[in-house]
Structure formats: C-alpha cells, structure tokens
Amino acid sequence: MCIGPQGDMHGVSTKECAKQLAGTGAEIIGVNCHFGLNETLEACYQMKLGLEEIGLDCTKDVFLMAQPIIYHTPDADVQGFIDLPEFPFALEPRVATRWEVQNWARASYDMGVRYIGGCCGFQAYHIRAVSEELEKERGVRAEGSAKHEPWGKGLEMHTKPWVRARATREHWSNISPASGRPFSGSLSKPDAWGVTAGDSALKQQAERA
C-alpha cells in the first residue's frame, strides 16, 4: 500500500488495511513510497498491530515489507510527499543520511519487518547502509564495507584529530544535520490536494466526440 500511518485516502486505517490484505491471502504486505523512514516505520507498526489482532505473526505467518522514500516527511499529510510544496524539484534538503537509514533498518528488523528496501530518492549508499546494518542477519557482507566499518572507521586516518574522533557510532547515530540555509523552515504546509483516481482534475485531455 502507498500509505502512511494515517491510512488511505478513503478513511481506512493502516491497521485495517493490513487486516484486509492478510484476509485476501497475501503472504507479504507492507507500505512503499510517499513517506519517509520514520513515517514508514510507524505505518509498519500499525500493520503489525493489525495482524496481531487477527492472530497472525509478521515473522512467520504474513511477512511485512517496507520501502520508504529517502526524504523526511514529518509534515506530510495523508497523500505523503507529493503534497509538499518542495515536490518534486526541491526535495534534496530532506534526504536522510546513511546513518539514519542504518538506524531505521535496525528498528524495522527488530520490529519484525523482513523485506526492507527503498523507493524514491534512495541511492546505492543508502541500500548499502541497510545491508551493512543487517549483515549478521543476512549472512552476507556488503562489498566495500571494510573501507569504513564500523561506522566511519576510515575517519581514523583523517589528518584532523577532531574528525578522527567522529569515527564512532555514537557520533553519527545521534547527529542532527543542519540544512545550512539561514531562512530554511523546519516544516512545510502540505497542499492537501486530496485528489484520487477518477477525479476530473486528473483528466489530461478532452474526450473525443
């Protein structure tokens, strides 16, 4: 489902969506696109609760899948990032760091999500971050990981001592990156377009007589 924690655009909760999907016999359910890491994590949690309410386990009965966008969307409405005024050409300031992706991958796996990937905006280094975080669980070491594990180990060779001191998980896991833009707002006001399939606003050309 292309939904977030608030559910779909017809008023069906994320938890209820999970129940309906599982009820149809689906073996893998989940969410993809339109929402960032944190919102996707919460949506998956709601789905997990829905499965538990009908007696299903998300690690053996019906598996959970998550594919968020790479952009942070705490201010997105029910339609997700497509309602943000930055969509689609000014989303770069919202890009999550590779360390945030590692934290999200860990939280997702520990919660029971077993199919973990990325959607719009994800780059190769973000997917590698997922692979590195779940290396033990997967039993596969991501190629090139030795260059900077654990958590920026390559920085230990930096010429500046204060940069060498950043070669720790504690530093990168807890950092709150700044945008560097003096007048940048922390959140945006969604346009709340609210248009769904079949709406006249979506017609691109007039029907022929």
Per-residue pLDDT, averaged over 137-154, amounts to 77
Domain ranges of the chain: 1-143, 145-175
Q: Residue 149's pLDDT is what?
A: 64
Each residue's pLDDT tens digit, 24-59: 999 999 999 999 999 999 999 999 999 999 999 999
Q: Residue 54's pLDDT is what?
A: 97
User: Cis peptide leading into 88, omega within 30 of 0?
Assistant: yes
The SS3 of residue 95 is strand
Each residue's pLDDT tens digit, 52-102: 999 999 999 999 999 999 999 999 999 999 999 999 999 999 999 999 999
Contact yes or no for 77/192 (Cβ under 8 A): yes
Average pLDDT, the chain: 91
Q: Among the CATH numbers 3.40.1440.10, 2.30.42.10, 3.40.50.720, 3.20.20.330, which is that of 1-143? A: 3.20.20.330
Q: What are phi and psi of 38, to 5 degrees?
A: -65, -40
Per-residue pLDDT, averaged over 120-127, amounts to 96
Contact yes or no for 95/122 (Cβ under 8 A): no
Q: Residue 150's pLDDT is what?
A: 63
Q: What are phi and psi of 135, to 5 degrees?
A: -60, -45
**Residues across the chain:** 209
